[in-house]
Structure 1
């Protein structure tokens, strides 16, 4: 049995946001395409399990999140954005970016420096405008954890944009007697 046409139209409408989220998880075009395709295939094959009272985008992002983390568990080779890819991205943005391409390049570079868990929560809340509860559902975390990660992510992004080194925990002073 095929998914109904309205469901398939909603999937198509959600594709740009799903791709944007996939790009924060996977940093190469082929990997993004694979993740998005796998997410859509899973959604289409399990469309009957979708609760119409839920937001379809939240459901899709949850599928993508779980698929990505399953993939990470299968191969532990994942690392951050490779420097050569970041340079290519910066070059491309310099030619097609906003009025201040330097700001966009700096923001992308700072964003790439963030831990994956911070990138995810910043994208879901800040860009996709999910509520804390929806973000918590996607990431399968308590809402309080989402809020604290978001706070730490914003602080780390500010530090990266300011060019400051990452904050270190304070070193206890030794008492001299």
Structure 2
């Protein structure tokens, strides 16, 4: 099974708003999570962290496996990897390719909704780009689409997939 990935850089100050407001992550939607608290030198679960923006003022990484998440389209079994160091970091969202396949074909409508969702996030979270592709989408050879602020015709991008 292939995995698709959405990757973007984010300022730490936006992390709480993204995770709690946009992604609407709550304890009941999370299948599992893992964070390491360097101050206490112990593992933590997502629900034990009251502010991810504060938690990641020290370099660290955390993972959250989400049962279902609405990202323009409903996705299931989504892994959110958060890796930050003080002022900024990387958010990676991984999910099975099958989430965007309908009857052995790419569901272009779902792809379009997903990309539109992230295009709208770019405006609200000062994102310079959002890369979408096969894991690891950060690599040029596995990146299918890179959204940038000047991209306006994302339907044309999806049609090329």
Q: As a proportion of its length, which structure holds more helix?
A: 1
- Determine which structure has greater relative contact order: mean sequence separation of CA pairs < 8 Å that are 6+ residues apart, divided by chain length: 2
Q: As a proportion of its length, which structure holds more strand?
A: 2
Greater Rg over alpha carbons, structure: 1
Q: State TM-score, norm by structure 2.
A: 0.33
